[in-house]
Structure 1
Amino acid sequence: MRKQLKTIIYEILETSDSSNFYSLADDAIITGLIVINVAAFIASTSPTLSQQHISILENIEIVSSLVFTIEYVLRLWVCTVDCRYSHPLWGRLRYALTPLSLIDLISILPFYFLLLFSNLNFVVNLIRVLRLLRLLKMSRYSESVRTMGAVLSAKKEELIATAFAVFILLIFASSIMYFVEHEAHPKAFGSIPDAMWWGVVTLTTVGYGDIYPITPLGRFLGAILAFLGIGIFALPAGIIAAGFSEEVQRRKQQKMAATLEQSANYQSVKRLAEIEVGFEQKQRAIALHIESSSDLMKMCVQTAKQKLGSDFQNEQILRDLAIHLYKEAVSKFDL
């Protein structure tokens, strides 16, 4: 009974089955609590809202944290249903160290840390910021978040190569601009780190305007770097867009393959059922034919004996005559 209960809870918590009402309800409740909790956290930073609705905001935090805690404890309890975490101690420890479980743990720790360190302002502010990490729990329930995570994982090598190229370009551009502008504009380009801020703003095409070159050569280099920034920072967007398209296409193919497999299985089962039904019907038809043929042969033998038995005592002749009568009856009446 206990194992069956664990299996049921495991299917509700760990699988997003559209045919399971309780699984859908769990996904909807947890997702709604995440959104409400983050909205309450944002509202708590407003002096007006936090003063007018302080009790509501506190109750939202308490209720959501307790629900998240219960969910986390239940996940640790039922994870042994999965063969990968079947050991009662080490299996649960391995499950607790998985990325999604760590996200679940981080999402509930701020509530309990605030109870322990409520007098330390720096710790309180840091822990309150950690509440935003509850948005990462959406990865369990949001197909879009999981898709984006899969895209970043699949394209991590290309993104790392692009980031490295941007970093190299930033170092070179900032260093050259420092040596070009340092004497003419020492306040803005006092060091390479100062020039790197200008390089970041220029490469990202933001252009705050707080630091800019004033020499002709510096402006020329700045213009070239701005054009390079447009192309280089478009690379990650193109890589992610291509990866997203590939991931969506792959998932469509998987769904199509699953649908075709289900259709093929259905057709196979249907065909087997038709074959079994046809075979049973054929068996009945053969049995009926044999029974009819036996009756006909019996009637032919009896007729031959009655008509010719007194003249022909040889059983072989009677049998041959009976077979002859049987064949004539079959051919004449299409039996």
Structure 2
Amino acid sequence: MKEKLFNIIQIGDRSNQISRFFDIFITVTIFANIVVTFMETFQELAFLSTWFRVIEVITISIFCVEYIFRIWTAGYLYPEISLCRARLHFLISFDGIIDLLTIVPASFLSGFVIFRMLRVARIFHLFRLNAKYDSFNVITTVLYEKKNQIISSLFIVLVLMLASSLCMYSVEHNAQPAVFQNAFSGLWWSMSTLLTVGYGDIYPITPLGRIMAIVIAYLGVGAVAIPTGIISAGFVEQYQRKSTLSNFRNTDIKEIAEIFVDKQYAGKTIEEIEDDDQATIYLILRDDLSILPQKDTVLKLNDIIVVRSTEET
């Protein structure tokens, strides 16, 4: 019974009709909870507050039951470790923390600001739903692949922000002591300028400050373009190379191809993949390693396998 329940509550299992129904049910529940949270902020809808509270209690109760079930079946989610460690692993995972932060605010006084803010966490349920499907897989794969380049570009942006804020503070402090009170004021200005937001609440008035602002604004265009270009290039590469194993059988691959391993196939062995999908796997690319596949080699998420179809066409 526990294993059947685990298979049902696992989001993204397209082969299980009951699990698919549960996905739809929990999605509707999450959206209902979020909509009620938004509607409660409208004074014009105060006469519906009782109904909003009822819907909120029902949806939170569903979240509580789901949270308990996920803790109970955590051993199937992490079969390689003991049951106690598996449950602890789930509790500190992204899904477990989001589930807990969704439930906790409803258990305390709603008057405290911190608990009202925690109610925002329920929105992140949508990430958990989407994480099992292709759209979110593409995003996470691109960010994982390009993490070093993105971190480097963000470091460049940070250096430019610090340098421009200190320069602007040095130039404008005497002319606008109330506006550029300290380096943080300059940091706020540099952030809004470099990221091309341009709030306009802080701006230079001296000639030298304005000249610097023009230069920094141009640098900001390039600074924002660097991580944007990296991520865009990653998306193009991902869609050019991506031919997921889920539709591999229907793809006529006569030559060698590179295929990303998605969450549906992560954890399977080479033998299982080759038998199920009529394919020959020649090489596994994992991080910076090239692995020669064995029959019992287990594929991991975001692996790239060099594969060729063995079906006769």
Q: TM-score, normalised by structure 1?
A: 0.68
Which secondary structure does the structure 2 equivalent of 1:245 belong to?
A: helix
Contact 1:174 1:198 in 2 (8 A): yes
Contact 2:11 2:23 in 1 (8 A): no
Q: What corresponds to 1:66 in structure 2?
A: 61
Contact 1:106 1:133 in 2 (8 A): no
Relative to 1, partners in 2 of residues 1:255 and 1:143: Cα closer, same or farther, differing over 3 Å?
closer
Higher helix fraction: Structure 1 or Structure 2?
A: 1
| Alpha-carbon distance between aligned partners in 1 of 2:51 and 2:220, rounded to the nearest angstrom | 47
Q: What corresponds to 1:89 in structure 2?
A: 84
Q: What corresponds to 1:215 in structure 2?
A: 206
Contact 2:98 2:121 in 1 (8 A): no
Aligned-pair identity (%):
33
| Alpha-carbon distance between aligned partners in 1 of 2:310 and 2:181, rounded to the nearest angstrom | 77
Displacement after TM superposition at 1:236 (Å) = 1.8
- Which residue of the other structure, out of 39, 46, 50, is the alignment partner of 1:55? 50
Displacement after TM superposition at 1:180 (Å) = 2.2
Rg larger in structure: 1
Which secondary structure does the structure 1 equivalent of 2:196 belong to?
A: coil
- Which residue of the other structure, out of 231, 237, 246, is the alignment partner of 2:228? 237
CA displacement 1:100-139 (0-9 Å, x = unmatched):
2222222222222x3xx35x43344334344444444334
Q: What corresponds to 2:162 in structure 1?
A: 171
| Alpha-carbon distance between aligned partners in 2 of 1:222 and 1:82, rounded to the nearest angstrom | 53
5+ residue gaps, structure 2: 252-273, 280-308
Contact 1:170 1:200 in 2 (8 A): yes
| Alpha-carbon distance between aligned partners in 2 of 1:80 and 1:161, rounded to the nearest angstrom | 38
Displacement after TM superposition at 1:264 (Å) = 3.3
Q: What corresponds to 2:189 in structure 1?
A: 198
Which secondary structure does the structure 2 equivalent of 1:84 belong to?
A: coil
Matches within 5 A, 1:315-334: none
Relative to 1, partners in 2 of residues 1:78 and 1:178: Cα closer, same or farther, differing over 3 Å?
closer
Contact 1:16 1:141 in 2 (8 A): yes
Q: What corresponds to 1:38 in structure 2?
A: 34
| Alpha-carbon distance between aligned partners in 1 of 2:135 and 2:4, rounded to the nearest angstrom | 26
Q: TM-score, normalised by structure 2?
A: 0.72
| Alpha-carbon distance between aligned partners in 2 of 1:8 and 1:81, rounded to the nearest angstrom | 10
1:37 alignment partner AA: N
Moved more, 198-207 or 146-155: 146-155
| Alpha-carbon distance between aligned partners in 1 of 2:78 and 2:176, rounded to the nearest angstrom | 66
Relative to 1, partners in 2 of residues 1:66 and 1:41: Cα closer, same or farther, differing over 3 Å?
same
Contact 1:202 1:225 in 2 (8 A): yes
Matches within 5 A, 1:1-335: 5-14=1-10, 16-49=12-45, 51-82=46-77, 84=79, 87-112=82-107, 114=108, 117-118=109-110, 120-255=111-246, 257=248, 259=250, 264=278
Displacement after TM superposition at 1:36 (Å) = 1.4
Tell me the matched-pair count.
Answer: 261
Contact 1:110 1:128 in 2 (8 A): yes
